[in-house]
Amino acid sequence: MTQTPPPGGRIPLPALAPLPTWPRLTSAIAPDPLIERQVAEIVAQLTLEEKIGQMIQPELAQLTAEDIREYSIGSALNGAGIWPHGRRHATVRDWVELVEHFWTAAEQTWQDRPFRIPFMWATDAVHGHNNVHGATVFPHNIGLGAAGDPELIRRIGTATAREVAATGMDWVFAPTVTNPRDRRWGRYYEGYGEDPALGHAYGRAMVEGLQGGPAALRTDQRILATLKHWIADGGTADGRDRGTALCSEQVLRDIHAQGFLGGIEAGAQSVMVSFSSWEHPANYDHSPGGGEPYNHKVHGSRYLITDVLKDALGFDGIVISDWDAHSEVARCSAGDAGYAINAGLDVLMVAGREAWQSVHRTAAAQVRAGVIPQERIDDAVSRVLRVKLRAGLWELPRPSERSLTRPDAVAVIGSPAHRALSREAARKSLVLLKNTPGLLPVPRTARVLVTGSAADDLGKQCGGWTLTWQGDDLDRDDLPGGATMADAVREAVGDARCTVDPDPSLASPGEYDLAIVCIGEDAYAEMRGTVRPWRSMGYADLKRSYARDLALLCRLRAAGVRTLTVLFTGRPLYCTEEINLSDAFVVAWLPGPYAQGVTDVLFAPQEGAPAQDFQGRLPSSWPRTRDASAVNGLPAHLPDYRVPAEETAPEGRHTPLFPVGHGLSLHDPAPAGGPLPLDVPAAAPPAPRVGGPLRVLDALGSAYRLRVGGHNTWSREDVSLEKPMDCLIVRATPFPTPEGTALRLLFKGNPAFVYAESPFGRPADLRGYLEAGAQVRFAVRVLRQPSAPLLLACHDDYPAQPGVDLTARLREAGPTDWTTVSVPLAELAAAGTDLRNVDVPFMLYTDGTAELELADVSWCLP
């Protein structure tokens, strides 16, 4: 039975209680003896290689139909930004035909056998079917958490399932049920909030929406859900992506496991493991003495995967790895997943073609050598077959003939009903932090200035995982039917009363009754969105473009214009100055491309329409200070909670500015007192003096660790000065010159960066070089000019911090003679580079192709 929130109210979430042990769960999809017999019959007839083929999940760009037939591949996925034939705007029919192409190859695999095993297609659908052009995009999870409405989540799950099914796909890697504990984490917005009860209720509701019950799951209008990422990926020290959780097992159960517990009870059929680590004595090495010591990666944890998830909790579905994550486990590599398989992984998501083929060969050899027990392989394959049977894949017609994919089917991708649901979710997620009585709702006759960096920016509204991985290059053609805030305000008041100017001069401030100042973070996803531990969490401190928003609010206040600020963000940020400068302040989170959901609440209703009020409440505490990065609230169900070292006790200067559950309605009186207290940053100490050049790569080699990262290579590859390194995105070849070692770099056309990293992992204050007028200097020969901007940066988190485009400078360089390129540090500083904390003094980044040779890299004094 579902509950409907009362008018203007919220249904309380079910209360949680401390868990003294891991609980045995009862899934809504119970074991079926008939299915178990069918599984056993098929497993008994499979060869070892066929079994391992069911455990391998390659990525679309690295897989052919012939591969499926040769290796008996059981499933495939399309990563974010990977589309049929590379077409960003591929049609729904393109997707269906592609899925059917691989489905047919799998059918041919078994045509001479007395049984068949259907193929499964998986996709990331983390806020709607977000990789497909024209699909409905919903608010990200942090905003849905603010809505506090599990029934809304269930309806979003059902709508997403129908749109995914309409492209012929079977399986999604959602929902993310992480509990984010540090605002610096670049995936913070993928969690519903810091309250474990929210994750528990929402994990259950989203699984119910995506899968339905046992009968609904067997139809062609529901899909398999995946709970991710097991476990504590949101609890790493310093909010590091792929970092280490240091918490107790009690905290693991009571906080980080709650979304999984609710989702498994709802019948979730797969769980994806986290890239992160858990350092704890319970996390044992399951094969001691076998070589390199176990490095605590969850992907290699027999304790967390087998002992806890499978045996203690009773989860009997598929445990799947994250993208190439097995390669980060000690004693594994890109082409060897043996230790991780023995830990309990059932399906291995391996992107690169050479890597997944090597994993297949190596696993078979390790079974024959007794390194991997045969029963471990049989368990994995049994789980895959069990889930496929529960999903009714044997009874479903081919992808092009299903009820939502047939040419005569009613279109559901981006349907008006689904977009209306997204608009409703955006409306319910808005949190009002400040309101001057009489300002809201805004009359539709008002003369309005729409301004700020997010005034006309769909990327800031949608965030990452929107058509592409980072979601940072969206335009209007990418999101049909989308509306920016500028569009939505024009729709509310009419073109004649709406002026859109992101950075107005305000020569005539009296022209406007109100300025709606739209500010917000640029789009980001994992890794690029992570904020380094030494950086401020102040909105205006993060980027120069964000600081211009603060300056704009100052100008508006000085001009006497009333201001309503709308913040688009994936996490709570220190923005007390912005709040103080605003007459009203609304947190819109990442509401998606239908900004009418925001203006529905900001503006008075149209005649005959219902009046709207702010229903959203903070799902996470709001910081009082610039350095309040870790969660600073106490879980309501843990009265004896002992705040771990990675978190912040909610007291003193770290008492939240606004606690979890805070949010105003239109009818609340204005709070007493004056402006909110500001956190004034301490003055920076004098820059350390420098006495000579900073060597990066010269005749003596490098004092830094040279590395490559980027597309499909986010675990980073080391670059040697002794031998070549070749990966999917970059080939690096060292060679001698009369002056010393040089490096030939081939960028292959995917996002990639090559950088020199401090071997100590700590940043250095290098402002002294700036004060001394130093330059970043290197010698270069360009064998192939860059096909896209090639940027120089002094950090490894571009574009979170800026870079300087070298393309024009490199045009002067040729393939034979060495050319010296010099970039003044003043140019990097002017772009916004933080030279107080430099851990990477040299990085080259590009999305395109290029081939060049580098030598004599240093920071040189005049």
Task: Just list the catalytic residues.
Answer: 322, 526
DSSP secondary structure string for all residues of 318-356: EEE--TTGGGGSTT-BTTB-HHHHHHT--BEE--SHHHH
The Cβ of residue 558 has, within 10 Å, a number of other Cβ atoms equal to: 11
CA-closest candidate to residue 463, choices 592, 616, 595: 592
Contacts of 630 (CB under 8 A, 6+ apart): 181, 182, 183, 239, 646, 647, 648
Element (H, E) at 553: helix 544-559
Antiparallel, parallel or unpaired: β 120-123 and 842-846: unpaired
Tokens of 74: 């059981």
The CA distance from 244 to 238, in Å, is 9
The CA distance from 211 to 161, in Å, is 8
Phi then psi dihedrals of residue 535, to 5 deg? -95, 155
The CA distance from 784 to 711, in Å, is 21
The CA distance from 363 to 602, in Å, is 58
The CA distance from 486 to 499, in Å, is 9
Q: Which residues pair with 347 in a beta bridge?
A: 320
Q: Which residues pair with 566 in a beta bridge?
A: 518, 586
**Burial degree of 661 (CB within 10 A; 0-12, 13-18, 19+):** middle
DSSP secondary structure string for all residues of 101-123: HHHHHHHHHTTTSSS----EEEE
Contacts of 428 (CB under 8 A, 6+ apart): 146, 147, 149, 152, 615, 616
Tokens of 723: 């031998």
CA-closest candidate to residue 205, choices 180, 232, 174: 174
Measured in whole angstroms, how far is the alpha carbon of residue 320 from the centre of its chain? Answer: 18
The CA distance from 645 to 643, in Å, is 7
CA-closest candidate to residue 310, choices 335, 266, 343, 263: 343
The CA distance from 92 to 402, in Å, is 14
Tokens of 350: 């391996």
